[in-house]
């Protein structure tokens, strides 16, 4: 860049240097332009009023989109056609970027100028993995919203339709976190009955029980502590059972080894007894050893030879 160059200069389509850098994924150049040269991150193109974040989203550059969001750009910032970054990510099949944007609480139901949502665009272009993801994400977002509002029936309906009971929002909160935080006792008990994870931690490392205690929701605290105690007792019982099994196995192994040793000793005793009790053809006295038999036999043979 030449000294004194206008970094906000636009071409015939209204593109700035920042737009071009975003379209090519040049993160270091973008950081230099924004951090050092104070380039305008809200500069819009002439025809469709795209900002650099829309250009980056269309190309699927997650790190660059994240950089712009870090500069306090809105995740649902729309261009002239009311396309948000999620519209672009869904339409151009950038699944990982879509997951990132949804994690940043992008509005899955945002509608563009043609009244189309990101899910509509994915369906139209037959991006089936994207369709599956956005459909599930929509259920999960609705579940978290319903839990925060304490709407028990809506929560039940959404779970029946496949919403994930352990779904988390951008703060790491699950439906149970919200039920505990906002003192929705009946909802809390329902979620526990559905085996919601009472040990789930949000981004501040807080469990639903922690949130209930902070707000002094004692009925919620009591409700959460019962299954927690039960889980701990179950864990202790399972550990004890495993220890007993190990002891039984060890005892069985010891007994088996002892039996093998006894059998070996018995065989050895039998062999020794057989050798020590060998009898001759009638001339050898009972109890004569093998060695004595051999000596006696040799002596007899020598005597015969001399005769």
- For residue 218, which of 175, 180, 178 has the smallest C-alpha distance? 180
- For residue 96, which of 63, 135, 53, 141 has the smallest C-alpha distance? 63
The rounded percent of the chain whose pLDDT value lies above 90 is 70
Burial (0-12, 13-18, 19+ Cβ within 10 Å), 106: buried
Sole residue written with tokens 């071009």: 20
CB 229 within 8 A of CB 199: no
**C-beta neighbour count of 108 within 10 angstroms:** 21
258 phi and psi angles, rounded to 5 deg = -60, -40
Express each pLDDT in 258-299 by its tens digit: 556 555 655 565 555 555 544 444 444 455 554 454 545 545
List all residues 6 or more positions away from 40 whose beta carbon is below 8 Å from its beta carbon: 8, 16, 18
CB 98 within 8 A of CB 133: yes
pLDDT at 228: 62
Within its chain, how far is the Cα of 13 from the centroid?
Answer: 45
pLDDT band of 6, cuts 50, 70, 90: confident
Between CA 14 and CA 79 the distance in angstroms is 14
Q: What global pTM score does this model have?
A: 0.69
Express each pLDDT in 89-145 by its tens digit: 999 999 999 999 999 999 999 999 999 999 999 999 999 999 999 999 999 999 999
Burial (0-12, 13-18, 19+ Cβ within 10 Å), 242: exposed
**C-beta neighbour count of 77 within 10 angstroms:** 16
Within its chain, how far is the Cα of 3 from the centroid?
Answer: 51
Structure-token pair, residue 226: 């019962």
CB 207 within 8 A of CB 198: yes
Express each pLDDT in 156-200 by its tens digit: 999 999 999 999 999 999 999 999 999 999 999 999 999 999 999
Express each pLDDT in 207-241 by its tens digit: 999 999 999 999 999 999 986 655 554 555 566 67
Q: Which domains does the chain have, with CATH numbers?
A: 1-126 (1.25.40.20), 278-307 (no CATH)
Entry field: residues in the chain: 307
Structure-token pair, residue 113: 């100028």
pLDDT band of 244, cuts 50, 70, 90: low
CB 200 within 8 A of CB 177: yes
pLDDT at 280: 44
């Amino acid at each position: 860049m030449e000294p004194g160059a206008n970094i906000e200069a636009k071409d015939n389509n209204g593109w700035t240097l920042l737009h071009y850098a975003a379209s090519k994924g040049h993160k270091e150049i973008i950081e230099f332009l924004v951090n050092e040269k104070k380039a305008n991150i809200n500069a819009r193109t002439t025809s469709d009023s795209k900002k650099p974040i829309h250009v980056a989203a269309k190309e699927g550059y997650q790190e660059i989109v994240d950089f712009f969001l870090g500069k306090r750009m809105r995740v649902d910032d729309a261009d002239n056609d009311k396309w948000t970054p999620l519209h672009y990510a869904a339409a151009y099949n950038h699944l990982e970027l879509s997951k990132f944007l949804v994690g940043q609480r992008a509005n899955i139901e945002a509608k563009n100028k043609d009244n189309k949502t990101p899910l509509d665009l994915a369906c139209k272009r037959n991006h089936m993995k994207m369709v599956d993801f956005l459909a599930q994400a929509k259920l999960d977002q609705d579940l978290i919203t319903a839990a925060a509002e304490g709407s028990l029936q809506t929560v039940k309906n959404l779970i029946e339709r496949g919403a994930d009971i352990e779904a988390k929002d951008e703060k790491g909160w699950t439906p149970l976190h919200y039920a505990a935080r906002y003192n929705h006792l009946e909802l809390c008990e329902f979620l526990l009955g559905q085996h919601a994870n009472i040990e789930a931690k949000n981004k501040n490392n807080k469990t639903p029980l922690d949130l209930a205690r902070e707000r002094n929701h004692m009925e919620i605290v009591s409700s959460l502590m019962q299954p927690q105690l039960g889980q701990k007792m179950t864990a202790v019982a399972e550990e004890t059972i495993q220890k007993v099994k190990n002891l039984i196995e060890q005892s069985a192994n010891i007994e088996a080894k002892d039996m093998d040793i006894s059998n070996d000793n018995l065989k050895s005793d039998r062999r020794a007894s057989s050798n020590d009790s060998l009898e001759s053809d009638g001339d050898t006295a009972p109890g004569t050893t093998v060695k004595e038999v051999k000596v006696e036999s040799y002596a007899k043979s020598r005597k015969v030879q001399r005769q």
